[in-house]
Structure 1
Amino acid sequence: MLTVNKILQNYDSPEFQFRVCSQAQSFYDASTQELLDQPHISNHYYFYYLVKGKSAHQIDLNHLEILDGELLFICPNQVHSPQREAAENVFFKLYFEEHKQFLLKEHFAFLGNPFHTNQIRFSNNTSSRIHLIFKTLLELQQSHQTTPSLSLSYLNVLLEEFNLAYFSDVSQSLNTQEIGHFMDFKEYIYQNLTFELSIEQVAQELGISSSLLYKIVKKSTQQSPKQYLASLLVIEAQRRLLYSPISVKELAYDLGFSDPSYFSRFFKKYTGKSIRQFITDLSI
């Protein structure tokens, strides 16, 4: 798996702490862009806002099609496999490193991607504002007389627009406290991703009851906590089978399964394919 952290760091701006580009003004040379067109992983947040056109991407194993006025965003350590950009597409791209979140005026909850989606849609009015903010950020980046604090102010406004749109669909069903509990649940699951994890233990660690945790996760994902954990285990298993040379036995033990045969049955239950068939399909 290609890791592009060092490549992207060569283009980081110490003054502005992030980078913006467009179809008309790219800051990558041809060789770097060729690398970024391959499946890769990085420690950057990546935002792709499509003003006009159509763009296809694969995030981990999910295929997404981005249309006019939509945003693709990718979190650190996700695998991104873009298709080659169409010449007629009009877009903006934004990169910043995960550890530079401390520069933001507040914590933007969507950056944790609690609902496991990489696509955000906007209203027409919001799309117009986002387009204008991106244009302003690009102009500020190119100006030698701009202070970093001004650019960061516009970046915060842009991320606030993303944050509001990300949560707009769930704000009617979950209150702020419930969203916070779900984000804590997801973070704990990711940090302790293993089949042996007890949902009751997770609830205890979060300081809430198992019944409340079930209610929140069900409302957020249409899955029970156990089903959500299983889906993350399957995604991680698929990712490793796709991008790393690992045996099924080793993978099973890494994910907390004491019996590799049971892991194989578990994988088939949730994917509809045996591990062998999954690997065979990847090679076609």
Structure 2
Amino acid sequence: MTAKKIKSIPVNSMGTDFGEGVAIEKISFQDFGTVEIEKATQSHREDSHSFFLLEEGSVSIEIDFQEYTIKSPSIIYMHPNQVHRILAFDNVTVSSWSISNENLNPVYLTLLEDITPTKPLLLEKETFSVISEAVALSIKFTEQKKNKLYHSLLKDSCNVLVALVASHYVEQSTSTDKLSRFDSVTKAFKKLLERNYTITKRPASYAEELNISTPYLNECVRNTTGHSVSHHIQQRVVLEAKRLLFHSDKSVKEIATELGYDDYPYFSRLFTKVTGMTALAFRNKNLD
């Protein structure tokens, strides 16, 4: 059954009972009502950096057209840009925490941008124990509403949780001190691309921002990823187009404009070139 389309992709806001820009809670899906379940199973984004510690049960989730079946104990980090929805769940208990850019330690924000997008991580017993104990303490802080430093307690404890998870993800990837010059340039480019893909489409503009030549930027990116700078720009734009085509009722022309293309026919040709089908064909295919 296809989910009902809406004009734009919904953005779920973090709870406001915990202090501005920070939320920490423990949830049992068995306690969910119809409204909460419908909200979780509808495609949406979060308005913050969100983390989910699966303590019990299993859950199937779709993240940007990729399906994952997650079993406890596992952790997953969700960047605000990512569109996701719950497909199925069984006997689930999850602890979650969310934090806005303003409250997030800048060092951790940089780490999160570097590791996005992430996949769910199955946790070893010792790692799960450390994170779950930290979560339990943080949840106790949410009960200290009369404390004059209430928001600071939540903000700091949430940053600790972020650090624990981010460090675990970083362990799975190449450490920074082992990165080659090509790797470093590619990471810097991808970070710029994530911020600017709707307004900057020329490889030369990214090279200029990084204070290097366009050929050298292409050499670094191609050496690291096997693809050109233009390829990555196009893929990022098309991913967002797919999200909007699948999860919203915006017209192709509206989507083209939102993604920075005043030349609608050009955007249509680009989408077809990258995906092998027209934007309307993609939308209709996913309505089946």
Shift of 1:235: 0.5
| Partner residue, 2:12 | 4
| Partner residue, 1:163 | 166
| Alignment CA distance shift 1:21-1:176 (3 Å) | farther
Shift of 1:4: 2.9
Question: Given residue 3 of structure 1, which amino acid in structure 2 is its aligned partner?
Answer: V
| Partner residue, 2:25 | 20
| Partner residue, 1:92 | 95
Q: 2:86 aligns with which of 82, 86, 104?
A: 82
Tell me whether 1:189 sits opposite 2:197 in the alignment. no
SS for the counterpart of 2:102 is: helix
Distance in 1 (CA, whole Å) between partners of 2:85 and 2:226 is: 27
| Partner residue, 1:138 | 139
Shift of 1:241: 1.4
- Does the 8 Å CA contact 1:195/1:233 hold for their aligned counterparts? no
Question: Given residue 47 of structure 1, which amino acid in structure 2 is its aligned partner?
Answer: F
Distance in 2 (CA, whole Å) between partners of 1:210 and 1:115 is: 25
Aligned residues: 277
Distance in 2 (CA, whole Å) between partners of 1:246 and 1:198 is: 26
- Does the 8 Å CA contact 1:213/1:225 hold for their aligned counterparts? yes
Alpha-carbon RMSD:
3.6
Q: After TM superposition, list the pairs within 5 Å mapping 1:1-284 onto structure 2.
A: 1-5=9-13, 8-9=14-15, 11-14=16-19, 17-23=22-28, 31-32=35-36, 34-86=38-90, 88-101=91-104, 104=105, 106-112=107-113, 114-142=115-143, 148=150, 149-172=152-175, 175=179, 181-194=185-198, 197-210=201-214, 212-214=216-218, 216-218=220-222, 221-252=225-256, 254-257=258-261, 260-284=264-288
Distance in 2 (CA, whole Å) between partners of 1:16 and 1:247 is: 33
| Alignment CA distance shift 1:255-1:77 (3 Å) | closer
Distance in 1 (CA, whole Å) between partners of 2:276 and 2:73 is: 35
- Does the 8 Å CA contact 1:12/1:19 hold for their aligned counterparts? no
| Partner residue, 2:5 | none
Question: Given residue 92 of structure 1, which amino acid in structure 2 is its aligned partner?
Answer: S
| Deviations, residues 132-181 of structure 1 (Å, cap 9, x unaligned) | 22222223334568754455444333212222222223325853987765
- Does the 8 Å CA contact 1:218/1:224 hold for their aligned counterparts? yes
Distance in 2 (CA, whole Å) between partners of 1:16 and 1:265 is: 41
Which has the bigger relative contact order, CA under 8 A and spacing at least 6?
2
**Structure 2: gaps (5+ residues):** 1-8
**Structure 1: gaps (5+ residues):** none
Shift of 1:205: 0.9
SS for the counterpart of 1:54 is: strand
TM-score relative to the length of structure 2: 0.76
- Does the 8 Å CA contact 1:48/1:73 hold for their aligned counterparts? yes
